Each structure stands twice: as C-alpha cells, then as structure tokens.
C-alpha cells in the first residue's frame, strides 16, 4: 500500500504556506487570494506529470482542481490516441 500524497506532510506544508499566500496573486489565474477563498496546496510540477513532486505553493482550489482535471483528461486522451492497435 502506498502513502497518500495528501497525508500529514502535505497538510503541514499547506499550513506553513497558507498565511504567506493571503493577498498575493494565485500562481494559476493571477487573481488575489483572500482568507475567505477556498485555497489548496498546489504543485509547480503537476502531480500527474511527476508523482514524486510535492505541493509547494498555494493556489485557488478551483484553479488547482481545474488544472488537474484538464491535465488528467489530456493525458488520458493522449494515451488513448497512441494505444497500439490489436488488429494484426
């Protein structure tokens, strides 16, 4: 069984970075992040690209999750497009 990438260390990094992120631009959309916003710990190198990457920045939750969904869909589409043909 593998450890969740969103376990204790992830939560600790989020707690450390969160207060520093308030009133600064979101790295994804550029809009200011407020204390009232839903914020996630994001990855500079997306987790789908490098499963060993660690969360290293705070982002709007919507931006983070939308980017992850978009990247995941793109990777799945690419995988489907280049799947070897079974017809020999």
Over the stretch 38-82, which tens digit does the pLDDT of each residue have?
999 998 988 778 888 889 999 999 999 887 767 766 777 766 666
The size of the chain, in residues, is 88
Report the domain count for the chain. Answer: 1
Residue 88 lies in a domain: no
Range of the domain at 18: 8-80
Residue 86 lies in a domain: no
C-alpha span between 29 and 58 (Å, rounded):
12
pTM: 0.73
**Whether 17 contacts 58, CB under 8 Å:** yes
Residue 35 lies in a domain: yes
**Residue of 41, 45, 34 lying closest to 61 (CA atoms):** 41
Residue 20 lies in a domain: yes
Residue 6 pLDDT = 73
Residue 30 lies in a domain: yes
Residue 85 lies in a domain: no
Residue 1 pLDDT = 44
Residue 24 lies in a domain: yes
Residue 87 lies in a domain: no
């Amino acid at each position: 069984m593998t450890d969740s990438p969103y376990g204790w260390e992830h939560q600790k990094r989020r707690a450390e970075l969160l207060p520093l992120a308030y009133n600064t631009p979101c790295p994804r959309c550029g809009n200011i992040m407020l204390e009232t916003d839903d914020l996630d710990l994001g990855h500079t190198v997306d987790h789908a690209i490098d499963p060993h990457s660690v969360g290293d920045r705070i982002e709007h939750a919507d931006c983070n999750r939308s980017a992850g969904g978009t990247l995941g869909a793109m990777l799945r589409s690419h995988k489907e497009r280049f799947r070897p043909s079974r017809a020999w």
